[in-house]
Amino acid sequence: MTQYGIADIGSNTVVLLVYEAEGTSLKQLKYISTPAHLIDDVKDGVMSEEGIRKAADILKEYARILDDMHVSYRFADITEPCRIDNVNELINALRESGFEIYPLTGQQEAVYTFEGAVLSWPEVSEGIAFDVGGGSTELIAFENHKAIEAMSFHLGCVRLSHLPLDTPECRKEILKAQDEYPGLKRISNKIIGIGGTARAVGLVCAKAFGNRTCIKTADLQILFEKLKNADPEMTGYMKETVEPSRIPVLLPGIHMILEICAVFEAEEILISDTGIREGFLMRRIDAL
């Protein structure tokens, strides 16, 4: 089977994955996550030379790993970090690694995220899906396994970490999205959570409540309150299961998820193990 290397360049981390693919079946062979916090290198819409160099150096190191594995196909997607004024400077620096570079719009990011999530929850044909990233949040409405509305707004867990934990900005952005994208005006008893924040929440909830893939919103609210109050048991579960680089932004991410659940009146969150990386890869394979 053919092997593919995928680099996912996000606001908080740069992730390398290697897959074997046969049809729509993907087998993950390698996973490396490098904290980058690129969002902190962006000021007034411009990424600093230091931030660009940091991202490029990570990609060059990933290329050396793929060389050792003899992986020929190498694709990199850039999500929120590409939405800057000097994006061409960033892309040119990243291309030196030998990866094919694909900057994604917010709408593309949302669609690819959903297409990847379908691989984890094929039995769920309609509803709402979300991905709380470092710099942005994606909302997707879907019917018959197809995205009918997909959008992204510039508020993720890293940006939220610089605001008060009870900020009303989450609710305001979700309601604004519903006004601008009518397909998002729906009630969804179960919603699909995609991406690193949702998966981290799932890992903590597995320790706290015994379920990783289907989380009750009421349990997530309990987790939020206990982490906010530095409950030693819940804090211990978080430190045991969550990557250190994600811990400082987990509470803001949970706050956003709870606000999404409240607006869409969701009682449960289905955690997806797949998302933008898999959706992006399937698009690249289809284009070969």
pLDDT digits (tens, 9 = 90+) for 37-68: 999 999 999 999 999 999 999 999 999 999 99
3-state secondary structure at position 174: helix
Measured at the CA of 152, the angle between CA 155 and CA 19, to 5 degrees, comes to 105
Q: Which domains does the chain have, with CATH numbers?
A: 2-103 (3.30.420.40), 107-271 (3.30.420.150)
Q: Are 175 and 113 in contact, with CB atoms under 8 Å apart?
A: no
Sequence-ordered list of residues with C-beta below 8 angstroms from that of 3, at least 6 positions apart, any chain: 18, 19, 20, 21, 29, 69, 70, 71, 72, 73
Is the pLDDT confidence value at 116 over 80? yes
Whether the per-residue pLDDT at 1 is higher than 90: the answer is no
Between CA 28 and CA 237 the distance in angstroms is: 26
pLDDT in tens, 153-165: 999 999 999 999 9
pLDDT over 70, % of the chain: 100
CB 241 within 8 A of CB 200: yes
Residues 219-242 have a mean pLDDT of: 98
Q: What is the mean pLDDT of residues 162-183?
A: 97
Paired residues of 36 in beta bridges: none
Taking residue 189's Cβ as centre, other Cβ atoms within 10 Å add up to 11
Q: What pLDDT score does 172 carry?
A: 98
* Residue 33 exposed, middle or buried by CB count within 10 Å (0-12, 13-18, 19+): middle
- Cβ contact 136:110 at 8 Å: no
Could you give the CA distance from residue 8 to residue 113 in angstroms, rounded to a whole number? 12
Q: Exposed/middle/buried for 44, CB within 10 Å: 0-12, 13-18, 19+?
A: exposed
The confidence band for 23, taking pLDDT boundaries of 50, 70 and 90, is confident
CB 217 within 8 A of CB 269: yes
Beta bridge partners of 100: 75
* pLDDT over 90 at 82, yes or no: yes
Residue 25, pLDDT score = 85
**Amino acid 30: pLDDT:** 97
